[in-house]
């Protein structure tokens, strides 16, 4: 008799003790993300039919306005989170400013804020490559009953209460942590249920995959150039394999399963790095660390960086612990 895998709903109930301070709100928050992910998944999966359903910015054959998928994903997550009366504020890559949610009683009594990249790597959709949603959850730090302020969003990653991603790939998965390890759930689209397919995910301590856009080689710091050459040398378990999808969620997800390192360093093109600290680097760093990996900007732990701006960028080196430590050693010796 094969063991049936719990659904995400059953898993949340079975692990309610993971949220000691929550009166079920954090569980409801994860459930609302689960719902929005199903809606976005449906749209992403039919993106290839735009000439039938209508391209973004045009009317589809039903005469409905076709939204760009990242706008659609953004609106879907915002609407779902707002309707569920759980969060007091949302920050998104798609919105310049954070959104204040006062609640139906207009009393600002909800205690969580969500920061998200609603559809990371959306340029890959036109070429049918997997994309992802990334989310990060904090308790608010300003008094309940007052509108959120930037202080509630500009928190270091080490204060996250939960983080996760949805990967819209050959299958659709929701992977998240609440600080008690990392678990992956796969959507059965026929049933609309998510099943625990990857319990207690762990990064292999070492690996032989490196993921970086080598097209930027000329713009990289010397330490990164030296590390790339190290990966390519004939020595021991090297050369490593180069794998770069151009979708952070997909590259990190593959490396977590197979072992590997993902790097998006600073460069003369991106002097602070390209990826956003608050809703890309921090949530992915939380997951990577909870899976036994390491995440830094080449020098300091990502989750210890004190944010100063909502959309600030950071370099990121993350993945198998020993690979990140090796890359950091090259940064220490050869620097920027």
Residues in binding site for substrate? 120-123, 213, 244, 262-264, 274
Which of 15, 53, 66, 213 lies at the binding interface for ligand P6P (CB under 6 A)?
A: 213
Closest CB to ligand P6P among residues 120, 152 = 120
User: Least distance from C-beta 256 to ligand P6P, angstroms?
Assistant: 15
68 part of the interface to ligand P6P, by CB under 6 A: no
Q: For ligand P6P, what does the binding mask look like between residues 95 and 134, x meaning CB under 6 A?
A: -------------------------xx-------------
| Cβ atoms within 10 Å of 331's Cβ, excluding its own | 22
Q: Euclidean distance between the first and final Cα of the chain, in Å?
A: 57
At closest approach, how far in Å is the CB of 213 from ligand P6P? Answer: 3
Give 183 or 247: the residue with its C-beta nearer to ligand P6P.
Answer: 247
248 φ, ψ (degrees, to nearest 5): -55, -45
Decide: 282 and 135 in contact? Cβ < 8 Å.
Answer: no
Which residue number, 263 or 291, has a Cβ lying nearer to ligand P6P? 263
Q: How far apart are CA 120 and CA 143, in angstroms?
A: 32
Q: Write down the least CB distance from residue 94 to ligand P6P, Å.
A: 13
Q: How far is the CB of 234 from ligand P6P (least distance, A)?
A: 27
Contact 210, 330 (CB under 8 A): no
Between CA 294 and CA 302 the distance in angstroms is: 9
Question: Residue 223, Cβ neighbours under 10 Å: how many?
Answer: 21
What CA–CA distances, in Å, run from 123 to 40, 129, 234?
A: 16, 9, 35
The count of chain residues that interact with ligand P6P, using the rule CB under 6 A, is 9
For residue 248, give every residue at least 6 positions away whose Cβ sits within 8 Å of its Cβ, in sequence order, or none: 120, 121, 132, 134, 262, 264, 275, 280, 284
- Our CB check for ligand P6P shows the closer of 248 and 295 to be 248
Smallest distance, ligand P6P to C-beta of residue 241, A: 17
Nearest to 252, CA basis, from 332, 134, 170, 91 = 134
CB of 248 to ligand P6P, least distance (A): 3
State the minimum distance, in angstroms, from the CB of residue 28 to ligand P6P. 29
Binding residues are: 93, 117, 119-123, 213, 244, 262-264, 274, 280
In the region spanning residues 165 to 204, those forming contacts with ligand P6P, defined by CB under 6 A, are none
Show Cβ contacts of residue 97 under 8 Å, excluding neighbours closer than 6 positions.
310
Residues 236-295 that bind ligand P6P (CB under 6 A): 246-248, 251, 274-275
Nearer of residues 281 and 305 to ligand P6P, judged by Cβ? 281
Asked if 248 contacts 121 with a C-beta cutoff of 8 angstroms, the reply is yes
Q: Which is nearer to ligand P6P, 238 or 269 (CB)?
A: 269
User: 326: helix, coil or strand?
Assistant: helix
* Site of interaction with ligand P6P (CB under 6 A): 120-121, 213, 246-248, 251, 274-275
């Amino acid at each position: 008799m094969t063991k049936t895998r719990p659904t995400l709903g059953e898993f949340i109930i079975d692990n309610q003790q993971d949220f000691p301070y929550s009166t079920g709100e954090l569980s409801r928050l994860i459930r609302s993300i689960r719902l929005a992910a199903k809606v976005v998944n449906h749209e992403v999966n039919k993106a290839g039919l735009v000439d039938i359903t209508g391209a973004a910015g045009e009317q589809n054959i039903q005469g409905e306005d076709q939204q760009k998928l990242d706008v659609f994903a953004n609106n879907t997550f915002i609407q779902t989170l707002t309707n569920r009366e759980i969060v007091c504020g949302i920050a998104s890559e798609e919105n310049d400013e954070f959104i204040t949610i006062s609640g139906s009683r207009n009393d600002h009594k909800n205690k969580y804020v969500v920061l998200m990249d609603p559809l990371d790597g959306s340029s890959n959709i036109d070429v049918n490559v997997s994309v992802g949603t990334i989310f990060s959850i904090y308790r608010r730090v300003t008094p309940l009953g007052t509108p959120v302020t930037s202080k509630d969003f500009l928190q270091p990653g080490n204060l996250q209460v939960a983080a996760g991603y949805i990967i819209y790939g050959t299958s659709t998965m929701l992977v998240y942590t609440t600080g008690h390890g990392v678990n992956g759930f796969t959507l059965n689209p026929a049933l609309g249920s998510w099943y625990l397919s990857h319990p207690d995910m762990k990064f292999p301590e070492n690996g032989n995959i490196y993921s970086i856009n080598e097209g930027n080689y000329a713009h990289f710091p010397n330490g990164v150039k030296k590390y790339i050459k190290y990966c390519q040398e004939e020595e021991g378990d090297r050369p490593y394999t180069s794998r770069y999808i151009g979708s952070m969620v997909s590259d990190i997800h593959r490396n977590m399963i197979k072992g590997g390192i993902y790097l998006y360093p600073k460069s003369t093109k991106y002097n602070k790095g390209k990826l956003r600290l608050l809703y890309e680097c921090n949530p992915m760093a939380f997951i990577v660390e909870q899976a036994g990996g390491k995440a830094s900007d080449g020098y300091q732990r990502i989750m210890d960086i004190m944010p100063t701006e909502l959309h600030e960028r950071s370099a990121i080196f993350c993945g198998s612990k020993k690979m990140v430590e090796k890359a950091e050693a090259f940064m220490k010796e050869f620097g920027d």
